[in-house]
Structure formats: structure tokens, C-alpha cells
Amino acid sequence: MPPCSCPLLGVCALVSLAILGHILLHDFDVVPRELRSFSQEEIYPARQPRASGQGPQPVPGRHGSPRAAPTQCDLPPDGRFDCAPDKAITQEQCEARGCCYMPARWPSGTQMGQPWCFFPPSYPSYRLENLTTTKTGYTATLIRATPTFFPKDIMTLRLDVLLETESRLHFTIKDPTNQRYEVPLETPRVRSQAPSTLYSVEFSEEPFGVIMRRKLDGRVLLNTTVAPLFFADQFLQLSTSLPSQHITGLAEHLGPLMLSTNWTKITLWNRDVAPAPDVNLYGSHPFYLVLEDGGLAHGVFLLNSNAMDVVLQPSPALSWRSTGGILDVYIFLGPEPKSVVRQYLDIVGYPFMPPYWGLGFHLCRWGYSSTAITRQVVENMTRAHFPLDVQWNDLDYMDARRDFTFNKDGFGDFPAMVQDLHRSGRRYIMIVDPAISSSSPAGTYRPYDEGLRRGVFITNETGQPLIGQVWPGLTAFPDFTNPEALDWWQDMVAEFHAQVPFDGMWIDMNEPSNFVRGSVDGCPNSNLENPPYVPGVVGGTLRAATICASGHQFLSTHYDLHNLYGLTEAFASHRALVKARGTRPFVISRSTFAGHGQYAGHWTGDVWSSWEQLSYSVPEILLFNLLGVPLVGADICGFLGNTSEELCVRWTQLGAFYPFMRNHNGLNSLPQEPYRFSETAQQAMRKAFALRYMLLPYLYTLFHGAHVRGETVARPLFLEFPEDPCTWTVDRQLLWGDALLITPVLKAGKVEVTGYFPRSTWYDLQTVPVEAFGSLPPPAPLTSAIHSEGQWVTLSAPLDTINLHLRAGHIIPMQGPGLTTTESRKKPMALAVALTASGEARGELFWDDGESLGVLDRGAYTQVIFLARNNTIVNQLVHMSSEGAGLQLRKVTVLGVATAPQEVLCNGVPVSNFTYSPDTETLDIPVLLTMGEQFLISWS
């Protein structure tokens, strides 16, 4: 059933009482008792500057006697914090830790269940001392009097709190005497504190804690006093209450967009494993976003790259448990979800601008074993009238599966094949793995010989390259944190590009994946290999399916840097492509970390050809957009196992609305190129392709918004409609930007689909007569617009249909489809104008040559705003250049014109051949205009 108590076609109740009651109770309960007796002014460090050294008055707290038999064990089960995170222990062992012990039933359907051994409120934590104000906020010392049950507690810590912007608070907790590993991500530095903020900060003295409230409603967003702070050498734990159960983020995992707070553990340790629920997957993004009552939201980012668990519990609360580094926490106040995403991207970086061709269709499979077969695939696509922009090859092209080589048997004319693709207006991408073959005779394989000479490989404890085993056999692993490795990688890419003029790089296996545990020589027995706390990783040890945690890298150990491996390779590949090609780079990576979207896109890995994986791909695509990686997609029709015709049609329809659209197939699966299926299936797929290619100008404009403004491309409904709680859990539909709602069929045998339509008018995009472009069959029986008050609507969805709806108030640019973007970019354009009840709409087009670097700096782009009001449509030329000024506008379709116009004028000249449909309230206006000239279209 739909998540919210709103019936099909019925009006949605605004907030369910359960949610409201929960939040009200929770907000009351979350403030520590000691704080309630203080007025706001007493606890909160007053906003006006004080004399130096006069910090806020910390709150006195409990002074529990450490290790005494715990009292106060009558805590509500949902609010118990685990005192045995490291291992299962007996009652005796639990009480020896100074903790409470109460066996409990494992609730059905939960991943872990409530802890039997848990902290009493009196459990010793750190005490806050010497709180003083600074230019940027506050600083203080944290003292722990009693060690914990983890080895090497750091008993004295330094707290720095920075009020960085109106909506961003930043605090760090570090060891003041020893420099510990910190994530080498460049983040903004501030010189002074924000003059005014959306938040207030309070400190609890003992136990130490940070309490942060939203000033608007006093809601507590962060309260770290709920459980003791741990800061040992290899175990750091910071817990906080949450103001709501509605939390998303903490990628990469397979599951719904909203996480369950019912005793859930999410493990972040990048791993090569086919996506399945409850396992650590290819990427790590320690960021979460919480939706609050009333449409507000906040986000929290823990800048830490060590192996970690994040535990969610029903009170609701969250605990970060990391195995190293420091606590480096950012809180983003929004106030609405869109702003939270942008504020997060202000820290980790805005997405890169992809080349236009990268938004076309990509085709790949493992098993295209020769250039002859690869060429035949391209020819078959053309013959069957399917667009294809980028042809790919998997490992098949390599000589003995070694990077930067090609085999002369099947791929003897490899360079010529790539040049032929270019001549046909297409591009070419091949797979590159990070692991470099180490077993070729010395002097015969340049990437390894050069890498060895330049010292670019991760080393073991003897200082020799750590040797693992991947596709080519024995391999060494480049250390992309080493500047020397960046230059070596650039040279290898440039030398191979001089032979084979490829256009982008597909970087796989970069968790890094390893077919042996750790290395061929095993791993040393050390605290890095066997830490006191091992997060819930698949395989039970950090070295499972990867290299030794003790491996030495330029910046630190692999223990600290593992989760950054894919990100650092993406950066190296992005940089190398810029140097080798001099145009916009295109990199797709399997492994990711926070900030990945600045350099590359992502595909969701080795998914099965199943309806379940088709369905789960929607929340995955939405999640990566929230994390600043908008160029994302799943393997259309699935990678592992065999697809069915129906599944492949439905996956192609959805895949046409993945920002990154690629059909990719495994070595042993049945073929699944679009031309392999029945004519009915092909026709349905062609329609989806045509819609994608028609909408590319709009999609490209959305990527521009992501690149310059930190926006999302594919977005969940809650991002546009946060005040409607019914949207919060919708994760089987997606929006493109704020204008286009996509409702795919995700179940077998269905010819109807039910979707949620937030309050607005939604026009069926199938009613826009695109047959003028000559590529689409006439639309199905036309449906009138959906005037929704916020309701679930059942839509007809025969096999050839994916439902697309254009939101009132928006104008989207479209273009005639072609078999490549090289072709389609020359086609005439159209505008679809969806009017609100008051007759208004707005839209935008961004256009450039589609691949040059620095177009914004040089001004080599065209940007046009389209506005509709009072029965007129005008364009505003924000910026013009020769690129795009000459685009032909041939048709304007206006949706929501209530009465038949008597006259239509274009720049004052009557248009005689307009058409009007009273059934769909659609006005079709043929025009002869160029985008670079101002125009005014009116009707009366």
C-alpha cells in the first residue's frame, strides 16, 4: 500500500498523527534532563561576541562513579545503546564493563535486534573543560578519567566548533598531541564565524555532548549526550538522537531510499560483491539526510574514510562507529531538503559537466571477442534504427587481460575500428582495471616496468610491491595518492590513446578487488589486519576480496585509505583524459566515496537480470543524485543471469531515464541488445529511445544546473514536495529536474501502474505531438491532465508505454531524435509549455558545443530562459554565443489552454496553421524561429 494514509485518487492527509505524535514526544524527551532547568540564554553561548576566553557556560552534568555496578538499567528498549559492539559477551563480562544486561527477543524482520548489554546513563564518558570562544566559534578540551574496554583510549581530546555559515556547523574532535590520519579532501576554510545562524549550539559538560537545535522551532537535530563518546586508537563512536524516523543516505547499499531505523546496521567498506540487501557494496558515503515534520530537513556528514558501521535504532537514534581517523562532522540546516543537498556539495564538490554524447545510449557486453563482432553489433543497431552513441568493450580487447594493451588476434584493427566509430559520429570507451600485471618478463610490459621504476605501487611490510591476483593473474596495485602515480597513469593513458583514440574510461574493480585475501603472501598479523573492532563486512575481515589493510601508501596505510581507492583512481583518470584528449573527460567508476561526482559517474555494478533489481535501481539512482553523483545508471536488462523480453523492455523504458544509459551484459548470459527481440518489443524500446533523445536538451540543461548550482538531475519526489509527507517514501518513481515525473512499470505482467502525483496539474507528455519529428508512432488514446490534490493514480501502461508527466508551470526544450547525438544536435527543436491554472510557466535551455573544456569561462555557450504568462510566451537571452544561437525552433506546444484561441501571433505575424484540441486543451503552434533571436508568441 502507499506509504501515507491517502487513498487512491483521494486527498492525502497532511501528516499522519503517528508521525506527529512521535516527533512531539521525541522532541520533548530528547533534551537531557539537566538542560531543562536552564533557560536558553544560560546554556546557549549568546550570539553576541564576548571578551576572549569567556565561552558559553557549559551545563553541569552527572558524575557517575565509573565501573560501579550500574544503576538506572530501566531504559526503554529502543533507546538502549550497545555496550558490546565488538563481540558477543556474557552477563558477567557485560557487568564487568560497567554495563546493564537484559536479554531481549529479536524482533522479526530486523537485521540485528536490540542490545542485551547496554550503557547505563552513568557510564563514564568525556568531560568538557576550558570552553572558550574563538574567531570561528569555540574550542574546548575533553577529558576521560576512566579508560573504556577498547585498547589505547585517547584520554585527552581537543574539540573545535566552527559556526561556518548561516546553515552549516562544523566540529572536529582530535588528539591534540598526535597527528592522526585525516581524509585528504579539500574543504572550504572559514576565517570568522557566521554573523547569524539558523541553529543554536549548547554543550553538556559531563557527560560531554553537543546539542544543536533549529532556532525556527527549537527542534533538537543533534544530541550526542545520548550515549558515551568513544575515542580509542582504532574505535571511535559518536551517537546522536534523530528528530524523525525518515532518514536517507549512507550509500552504497541495496534497498529502499528511506532507511529503516528498526535496528539496522549499514557497513561502509568498499567491496566487490554483487548487489544484495544488507551487505557493504562498492562505495562509501558517510552522509545522511533527515526529513523533519513540516517539510524541513537537515543533513550530517562525517568526513572519515575508515571502515565503519552506522547503526540506526528506533528511538530514533544513530551511532557512527569508525575504526580510525578523527571525528570531523558537518551539519547542514537546509532548511529544506534541496538546500541540504547543495550545502553538502559545497563541502565535497559540485558534479562535473559531462560531454553531451555521454548522455546518449551506451552499449557493452563482456564477450564481444573481436573487432569484427563489435563492428557487427554497431551495424545491427543502425540497421534496426536504434540510437547508439558510445560502443564499449569489456576485457576482451586486452592482450592477456593486461591494461594498456590490445590483442592482435581478435583486435588487430582496433585503432581503425575506433576511427570508424568516430567517422559515424560515435564514441568509444573501454574497460581499464587498476591492478597492473606483474608477471610479464622484465622489459616486456611497460606499465609495470615504468611503475616499478617510478615507485608507484602499494607496498607490503618489506617495502616490495604488494602482489595480489586479478584478471591478468599476479598484479600490483597503483597508489593513486602518490603524485608520481598520477603522472605515471597519465603517461600510460596518453601512450595508449596515441595508439587507440578512445573517448572515455570505464574504471572497474577499483575497490580495489582482489581474487586472493590480502595478497599472495598473506598479510602480517597486526592490529591493522585484526583491529579490535571489525565492522559488519562481507567475509568477516577487512582483507576479504581486497588487499592487506597494512599495505603502505604514500599518504597513509590502506587501512585508512581503502575507501578512497576508487575516488583517487577516478581523479587520476579524469586528469589523464584531460591531458590526453584536451576535451571534457568521461569516466564511469564502480567504486566511489564522498565527492566522487566532481570527477566521474557511477554504474551500480553487477546486478542480476531480475524484476527485483530493476525495481531497486530507482532508489539507487535517486540516492546517488542526492550524493552529488548525478551521472549514474544500472546495467539495462541486468548483467548477471538471463533477461526475459518483457523485463528487458521495461528495463529499457526505465533506463531511458537513468542519467547514464547503458545496456551491459555478462559473459555467459543470453544476448540482450535491443535488436535481439521481437518486433513488438523493439518497437516499444524504440519509443523509449526516441523519448530519451528528444529530451536530451532538457537533460543536458539539468546537468548544467548540477554542475554550477549543486542541483540534482534525477530526484526523489520529496525534494520538490517536502511538505507532503506522502512523497517521503516514494522511491519507485523519479523526477527529472522539477518538471518531469516518470512512473515506470517495475513488475512482470502488468499493463497498469500506480504512481503518486503530488499536488499540481500533470500533463501526459504522450499528448505532445512529437510525430512532427518523424520518429514516433502516433500517441495512444489521449488522457486528459491529472489535476491532483496529492493522490495515488492508476495509469494505463501497455508494454510500449512508460508514463511521463509534465508538471504545470514548466517549459521543457526538446529536439528531434537521431541515431547519434552528432545527428540529433542538428535537428530542429520544440518547446512543451505546461501552463498553471493562472497561465504561467518557465523553463531554461543551456547549450554549448557539448565537449569543450572551459566553456563557462570563455563564454562559449548559450543560455535562454522561456517565460509564459498572460497568453504569451517569450524568450530571455541570458547569454548568447555562436554555439546554440542558430538552433531552429519549429514547434511550440502549449498544454492547459482552456478555450480555443481565435488568433495566434508570432512576433506580431498571424500564424494560420495552428491547431487546438479542446479534449486535451492543447495548442500546437508551428513556428520558424532561431533560439538566438528574441521572440514573442501570443494567442487570444
Active site amino acids: 508, 511
Task: At 232, list the grid cell.
Answer: 580509542
Residue with cell 523493439: 682
What backbone phi and psi angles, to 5 degrees, belong to 570?
Answer: -65, -45
Based on DSSP, count helices (H) and strands (E) in the chain, helices before strands.
Answer: 19, 50
Output the 3-class SS for 667-705: CCCCCCCHHHCCHHHHHHHHHHHHHHHHCHHHHHHHHHH
Q: Which residues pair with 736 in a beta bridge?
A: 714, 740
Among residues 74, 38, 75, the alpha carbon closest in space to that of 57 is found at: 38
Unique residue bearing C-alpha cell 581499464: 432
Q: Report phi then psi at 688, rounded to 5.
A: -65, -45
CA distance 819 to 821: 7
Point out which residues pair with 236 in neighbouring strands.
231, 322
CA neighbor of 729 nearest in space, from 745, 717, 741: 717
C-beta of residue 232 within 8 angstroms of C-beta of residue 245 = no
Q: Are 465 and 510 in contact (CB under 8 A)?
A: no
- Alpha carbon of 437 to those of 194, 489, 549: distances in Å? 52, 14, 21
Count CB neighbours of 217 within 10 A.
13
Residue 720 φ then ψ, to 5°: -90, -30
Q: Of 420, 491, 500, which Cα lies nearest the Cα of 454?
A: 491
Distance CA 764, CA 417 (A): 42
d(CA 259, CA 288): 10
CB atoms within 10 A of CB 540: 9
Contacting residues for 666 by C-beta, under 8 A, at least 6 apart: 365, 366, 367, 606, 639, 640, 641
For residue 335, is the peptide bond before it cis, meaning its omega torsion is within 30 degrees of 0? yes
User: Which amino acid would we find at residue 118?
Assistant: F
- CA dist 393 and 479 (Å) reads 25
> Which H helix or E strand runs over 492?
helix 483-499
CA distance 330 to 334: 12
Instruction: Compute CA 91 distance to the chain's CA centroid, rounded to the nearest angstrom.
Output: 42
Distance CA 480, CA 457 (A): 9
Q: Which three cell numbers stand for residue 250?
A: 549512507
Question: Kind and range of the H or E element at 204?
Answer: strand 199-204
Q: What is the C-alpha to C-alpha distance for residues 564 and 185, in angstroms, rounded to an integer?
A: 10
What is the signed CA dihedral for 190, 191, 196, 202, rounded to 10 degrees? 80
Residue 736, SS3 per DSSP: strand
Q: How remote is the C-alpha of 237 from its chain's centroid? A: 25
What DSSP string runs through 781-798?
SPPPPEEESSEEEEEE--
How many whole angstroms separate alpha carbon 882 and alpha carbon 867?
23
In the DSSP assignment, the letter for residue 111 is S
Which residue pairs from 439-443 have beta carbons closer than 8 angstroms and sit at least 24 positions apart in sequence?
439/472, 439/473, 439/474, 440/402
Residue 632, judged by CB atoms within 10 A of its CB (0-12, 13-18, 19+), counts as: buried
Q: Nine-digit cell at 751?
A: 499493463
